[in-house]
Amino acid sequence: MSEIFSKIDASFKAAIKGEESTSILIRWWGIIAYVVTFFVIDRIVMKVDNRAVDVAFSSLVVIYFVWHIFVLKKCSPKKPKLSKEEKAYLKQQARKDLGKKILRKLLLQESLTKWEPVTVTIVIDIIFITQFLGYIIK
C-alpha cells in the first residue's frame, strides 16, 4: 500500500514541476477523478441536506479541477517557435495539400475533426468546475 502512495506522491510532484506526461494526467488524474466525482461526490452533495458538507465537497472538487487544468497546461507539449519563412512555407504546403486533404476526409480516410486530448480534458474539467460552483453558489 505504501508503494502505491509513494507512486502517487511522485506523480503529483512531477506534475507540479511540469515533468509528468499528459497521458498519465489525463488517464490517472483525470478519468478516475471524473468517475469518482460523478458517482460518489455528486451523489453525496445531492443526498446530504447540510450546506456545510455541500460547500466543503464542492470546494474540494473545484480546487482539484483547477489544479488539474494548471498541470495539464504546464505539462502539455509546447509548439516550437517558427520564423516568418517557416510559417510561410508551412502555409504554402497546406494550400498544396488542401485538395488531397478534402478528398481523404470525404472518403472517410481521415478524421473530419482533429481533437487535442489536452483541450478536451480541460473542457471536461471546466464543466465539472461550473457544476460544483453551482452547488456552492445556490
How far is Cα 129 from Cα 122, in angstroms, rounded to an integer? 10
Compute the radius of gyration of the chain from its Cα atoms: 21
Does the pLDDT of residue 112 top 80, yes or no?
no
Q: Is residue 103 part of a domain?
A: no
Across residues 10-36, what is the average pLDDT? 91
Instruction: Count structural domains, the chain.
Output: 1
Question: Which range of residues forms the domain containing residue 10?
Answer: 2-81+116-137
The CA-CA-CA angle for residues 86, 87, 92, to 5°, reads 95
pLDDT at 39: 95
Question: Does residue 133 belong to any structural domain of this protein?
Answer: yes
**Does residue 54 lie in a domain region?**
yes
Q: Residue 137, CB half-sphere, CA atoms under 13 Å: how many?
A: 7
Q: Could you report the per-residue pLDDT of 9-21, keeping only the tens digit for each? A: 998 899 999 888 9
* Closest by CA position to 55, among listed 41, 69, 70: 41
In a domain, 91, yes or no: no
In angstroms, how far is the first alpha carbon of the chain from the final one? Answer: 39
In a domain, 127, yes or no: yes
Mean pLDDT, rounded, for 59-84: 92
Does residue 35 sit within a domain? Answer: yes
Answer whether residue 107 is part of any domain: no
- Residue 31's pLDDT is 93
Q: pLDDT category, 72, cuts 50, 70, 90? A: very high
| Mean pLDDT computed over 38-51 | 92
